[in-house]
Amino acid sequence: MSTTVGILYPGYSAEDDYPRAEALLGDGSRLPLVHTEMREDAHRVDALLDIGGDDVLATGAAQVAAQAGPLDSIVWACTSGSFVFGWDGAAAQVAALQEVAGVPASSTSFAFVDACRRLGITRVAVGATYPDDVAERFVEFLGKAGITVLSLSARGIITAAEVGTLPGDLVLDLAAAADHADAQAVLLPDTALHTVDLLDRLDARVGKPVLTANQVSIWQGLRLAGSSRARTGLGTLFAAD
């Protein structure tokens, strides 16, 4: 039986990572995606609180179910639009989404936490595309889960659309530059960043697991749907299952 993970994705930037991942999974798993409303494309706290509102996600959940049929799980594939609410607010966001969707739900922020726990990772380096104030909120979110950020690189890019244009070589450089010698993994927390075609190359370039936003979102959705197993071509995280 194939697994169907509904993906709620804000705006337009790296949504093509999901059909690419679907092809790499190669087992009939489906990742139907709907674009949720983004009234303003900005890595700014007020704009991020708006795109992650319960009404926006409820509308998206109804749309993806209508498009794809019954879902096995659903994921709010936005890191900044979840961690910006803080730990308790992000948990309430997921609970509200799960209630309206009627299936297990999560967000990219919690997917990063669960992926780190799966790999036994407690010390990380973060390569963020966001401005400093937004990136610091991700550090705080990870800290609530007992994950220590040893170094933070914040690139200060304002829009998701711009992040989506970054070429693969620059993404590889971003991960390498963000690394810290004592970090067990490097985290790239932006679903606007194209990474699915680079996952094995990222791990090889840095010499340790590199966890990316779209990667952990897909992994979390499959895990919640009961379809967690080892897969190749999608980085250390998928190989470990």
Three-state SS at 137: helix
| C-alpha gyration radius of the chain | 16
| Dist CA 218 CA 165 (whole Å) | 21
Task: Note the pTM of the prediction, 2 decimals.
Answer: 0.96
Q: Which domains does the chain have, with CATH numbers?
A: 5-240 (3.40.50.12500)
Tokens 């690419």, residue located: 20
HEC states along 12-46? CCCCCHHHHHHHHHCCCCECCEEEECCCCCCCCHH
For each of the chain's 241 residues, which pLDDT tens digit applies? 689 999 999 999 999 999 999 999 989 999 999 999 998 888 888 889 899 999 999 999 999 999 999 999 999 999 999 999 999 999 999 999 999 999 999 999 999 999 999 999 999 999 999 999 999 999 999 999 999 999 999 988 888 888 989 999 999 999 999 999 999 999 999 999 999 999 999 999 999 999 999 999 999 999 999 998 889 999 999 998 7
pLDDT digits (tens, 9 = 90+) for 130-159: 999 999 999 999 999 999 999 999 988 888
* CA nearest to 187, candidates 160, 98, 170, 179: 179
Q: Which tokens is 95 given?
A: 């609970």
